[in-house]
A = this chain, B = another copy of it.
Amino acid sequence: MKLASLKSGGRDGTLIVVDRSLTRYLPVPDIAPTLQHAIDDWASAAPLLNAVSAELNDGGPDDALRLDFTALASPFPRAFEFVDGSAYLPHVERVRRARGAEVPESFYSDPLMYQATSAGFLGPRDPVHVVSEDYGIDFEAEVVVVTDDVPMAVTAEWAAEHIQLIGLVNDVSLRNLIPAELAKGFGFLQSKPRSALSPVLVTPDELGDAWRDSVLHLPLRSWLNGERFGEPEAGVDMQFNFAELVAHAAKTRPLAAGSIVGSGTVANQDTGVGASCLAEIRMLEIIADGKPSTPFMSFGDTIRIEMLDAAGASIFGAIEQEIRRYGG
């Protein structure tokens, strides 16, 4: 099934079930008012939501409403936990090679992951407001999963059972704030503002064979200002699968229901498929030419992030965002 949230209804929006073709939907107030409510009580809510989904996919009921993507909030307008991995090592390798640094051997056995802000996710068509272009505005196209309650110190094998929803994220990054921030030693804060999830999140069964071994095996497509930017294969070069990422996050604490775990920027060794962020293109330029020639994003620039199934249909809907001057 596919789940989303309307902007109307308060800070957490209103949970809706969306049909497979992303054209029709139903609110489900009798099952759960919000997606957080549903995931808090997933064992009870999921079968009821699935029944609504089946009915929608069968063409019913008559009172289903027409989906308008601009009316959607983030599926989780706010969440209690967002931890973001960096599981595609080609991304890490390029970033480090561009500054002449080695990739430590441990990076191939111990996931990179950081604690991200979860207090607000931008709607999938909301603009990204930034104070200054000097911050070095970039997008990062990633896959995310959402868990139910995960016990502390879970094994990766068991962690896989706790992955209940899958989606995409535009992990907005302010590149020029990163070096000084990371140099302080405490990780990202100002350099990672609010992100945007895809219009809908889907259950693993919705992906069929494309979801296996806790990896999503489809290209992740990005368009910058309407031009194809990249379509790396999310099923290739993912050093740690989502079960391993969830287990990493849960090593010393339980994960609460509704925890969002990100893959990191999707990247392949094959540079011919393009990239999922501007920083990586710039790194390739630095490696080739000694300096970057592609600028970061400017006010008015747009980014579109989407994943299509084998038949060419959009799975999660498209994230489509414009960069805008804050207060401008």
Binding site for B on A (CB under 8 A): 11, 40, 78-81, 83, 86, 106-107, 110, 112-120, 129-131, 135, 152-153, 174, 177, 182, 184-194, 248-249, 251-257, 259, 326-327
Residue in B40, B120, B182, B327 whose beta carbon sits within 8 Å of that of A253 in the complex: B120
Q: Is the CB of B186 within 8 A of A253?
A: no
CA distance A11 to B256 in the complex (A): 10
Residue numbers in B under 8 Å from A107 (CB-CB): 184
Question: Smallest Cβ distance from A260 to chain B, in angstroms?
Answer: 10
CA distance A193 to B152 in the complex (A): 10
6 extra A-B contacts, CB within 8 A, seeds A115-B187, A185-B187? A79-B80, A80-B120, A114-B189, A115-B117, A186-B188, A187-B188
Q: How many copies does the complex hold?
A: 2
Residue numbers in B under 8 Å from A259 (CB-CB): 119
Name the residue of chain B whose CB is nearest to the CB of A12.
B40
Residue in B83, B119, B190 whose beta carbon sits within 8 Å of that of A252 in the complex: B190
CA distance A48 to B210 in the complex (A): 53
Q: Is the CB of A114 within 8 A of B187?
A: yes
Residue numbers in B under 8 Å from A251 (CB-CB): 131, 190
Residue numbers in B under 8 Å from A79 (CB-CB): 80
Residue numbers in B under 8 Å from A191 (CB-CB): 252
Q: Is the CB of B252 within 8 A of A130?
A: yes
- 9 examples of A-B residue contacts, CB within 8 angstroms: A11-B257, A80-B80, A114-B115, A118-B119, A119-B259, A131-B252, A187-B188, A190-B251, A194-B253
Residue numbers in B under 8 Å from A117 (CB-CB): 81, 115, 253
Given the known interface contacts A80-B80, A81-B119, A117-B253, the answer about A187 and B190 at a Cβ–Cβ threshold of 8 Å is no
Question: Smallest Cβ distance from A139 to chain B, in angstroms?
Answer: 15
Residue numbers in B under 8 Å from A255 (CB-CB): 119
Q: Is the CB of A249 within 8 A of B189?
A: yes
CA distance A74 to B130 in the complex (A): 34
Q: Is the CB of A114 within 8 A of B193?
A: no
Q: Is the CB of A120 within 8 A of B252?
A: no
CA distance A130 to B152 in the complex (A): 9
CA distance A189 to B192 in the complex (A): 16
Which of A11, A86, A118, A186: most chain B Cβ within 10 A? A186
Question: Smallest Cβ distance from A210 to chain B, in angstroms?
Answer: 29
Residue numbers in B under 8 Å from A135 (CB-CB): 252
Q: Is the CB of B186 within 8 A of A119?
A: no
Residue in B118, B130, B248 whose beta carbon sits within 8 Å of that of A118 in the complex: B118
Residue numbers in B under 8 Å from A194 (CB-CB): 253-254
Q: Is the CB of A186 within 8 A of B187?
A: yes
CA distance A197 to B188 in the complex (A): 24
| For the complex of A and B, 10 pairs with smallest distance between CB atoms | A187-B187, A81-B119, A80-B119, A114-B186, A119-B256, A193-B253, A193-B252, A115-B115, A190-B251, A190-B252
Which of A106, A253, A256: most chain B Cβ within 10 A? A253
Q: Is the CB of B131 within 8 A of A153?
A: yes
Residue numbers in B under 8 Å from A177 (CB-CB): 252
